[in-house]
Amino acid sequence: MTDWAPYTIRAKDWFEALRDRICDAFVQIEREAGSNAAFEFIEWDREEEGNPDPGGGVRGVMKGKVFEKVGVNVSTVRGAFAPEFARTMHGAADSPEFNATGISLVAHMANPHVPAVHMNTRFLVTGKAWFGGGADLNPPIPYEEDTAEFHAALRAACMAHNPTYYDRFSKWADEYFYIPHRGVHRGVGGIFYDHLECSAPDDDAAEQESFDENAAFERNFAFTRDVGEAFLSVYPRIVRRHVADEYTAADKATQLEWRGRYAEFNLVHDRGTLFGLKTGGNIDAILMSLPPEATWS
């Protein structure tokens, strides 16, 4: 059986390096706007009874002139799922133990013409080991140019690894980032993927013999890194495109109502929120995705 601990450390190191580069890029945009806003980084430790090393993470939040509220979190946690929750987790039905590391980002913008955004990538080990994640654009006031550029960047990242990825993962994002009780999508989409397997299959002995877990990890890790690179390349360009756009009170009202929909999705349907709450994560880090202001009509 593969010891996934060194692989988890590699993924953690990448997620932390990506966080630092994203935060630097966002702070630079604040400087260009004449703001001295900076990220506040707060370490937190997870607690789990009987677990001497449950892990934790770092919550990074900036509130500025351009980024009304942006959170960039990295966490690495270890422990055991509660039995009922374990039955819902891939690979955890027979063993509740897990190890997870990931980066999660949500940006809510001051100007309603600048789209909000979400990005998350992660590596999980249960009885299986796999990567998941994605990125999606969430404009209160959509612009076709922004949508096309965002999707083009993610399409290029996907096509460099598998010609089927973009169609599969963009469709998955459309299905996942949907608010069924409202009958609307959360935004203009992006990609969403999960269970990019690094561990051998359970149900085929011949395939188990030939399956190269190291190669699978390297392949899926490379793709996950390219998703992060694509996000870092495209999103700051979109922000700069609209940061100086004038807006009206009606535009701001549209943004605040849209933020209410965003909050509804994250509190009712988002799997990442549920995972954090069910595994003893830091509440402030889990709920940093919520907007600073929102309205409901």
How do the residues of the chain divide into helix, strand and coil, expressed in percent and rounded to 5? 45, 25, 30
* Residues forming beta bridges with residue 180, ordered by sequence position: none
37-52: b or e for each residue (b if 16 or more CB lie within 10 Å)?
bebeeeebebeeeeee
Other CB atoms closer than 10 Å to residue 140's CB: what's the count?
A: 25
Residues 6+ apart with CB under 8 A from 212: none
β 116-125/67-80 pair status: unpaired
Which position among 90, 108, 113, 118 bears the catalytic label? Answer: 118
β 178-179/116-125 pair status: unpaired
List C-alpha distances in Å: 92 to 167, 201, 212, 279.
29, 14, 21, 13
- For residue 17 the two structure tokens come to 């390096």
CA distance 130 to 200: 11
Catalytic residue status for 108: no
CA distance 272 to 249: 33
* Residues forming beta bridges with residue 191, ordered by sequence position: 135
Cα first-last separation, the chain: 55
Write out the catalytic residue numbers: 118
